[in-house]
Amino acid sequence: MATLLDISRYLKTLKNYLVDTWELDPDFAEKAAQLVYYCLVYGLRPEITSGYRSPERQAELVAAWNSGNPNVHTPLPPGKSLHNNTTWYGKPAALALDMVTSSPPLAGKIAAALGLVWGGQNDYVHFALRRGTL
């Protein structure tokens, strides 16, 4: 059985991965790491699909949504999405993460328990740290 020290190390490693690979804000990455961990514990098979998005990528998603692509979930315009968040000096620092799970409602409950916002049934892959819009 894993010890608290093992879990703490795993969460720290996962947080660093989320910051380095998905370009999440460090405070959000800490909560997102906990979300991923608990989704794993509950057997929800989490799969991250998006973290930071450039304004150009966000515009592509809006265009795909507008053309009726069923694989795109209600994207906000560039600059309005927490996926586009940057630091004051322009470094990516997303406050949103898209993650597919085997039970979106349970993942949403876990997110809420951690103080995160879930996109609900209309945007079931979306998890965010509330600092403005989703």
Give the domains, in start order, of the chain with CATH numbers: 4-128 (3.30.1380.10)
Mean pLDDT of the region 25-38: 97
Distance CA(85)–CA(79), nearest Å, equals 8
**pLDDT band for position 133 (cuts 50, 70, 90):** very low
Taking only the tens place, the pLDDT of each residue in 51-97 is: 999 999 999 999 999 999 988 888 899 999 999 999 999 999 999 99
- Residue 47 DSSP code: E
Q: Are β-strands 47-50 and 117-118 bridged in parallel, bridged antiparallel, or unpaired?
A: unpaired
Bridge partners (DSSP) of residue 5 are none
Q: How many CB atoms lie within 10 A of CB 15?
A: 21
> What rounded mean pLDDT belongs to the chain?
93
CB 54 within 8 A of CB 23: no
- Can you give the pTM of this predicted structure? 0.91
In percent, the amount of the chain with pLDDT more than 90 equals: 87
Taking only the tens place, the pLDDT of each residue in 87-104 is: 999 999 999 999 999 999
Distance CA(52)–CA(95), nearest Å, equals 8
**Closest Cα partner for 18 from 77, 87, 99?**
99
108: tokens are 């949403």
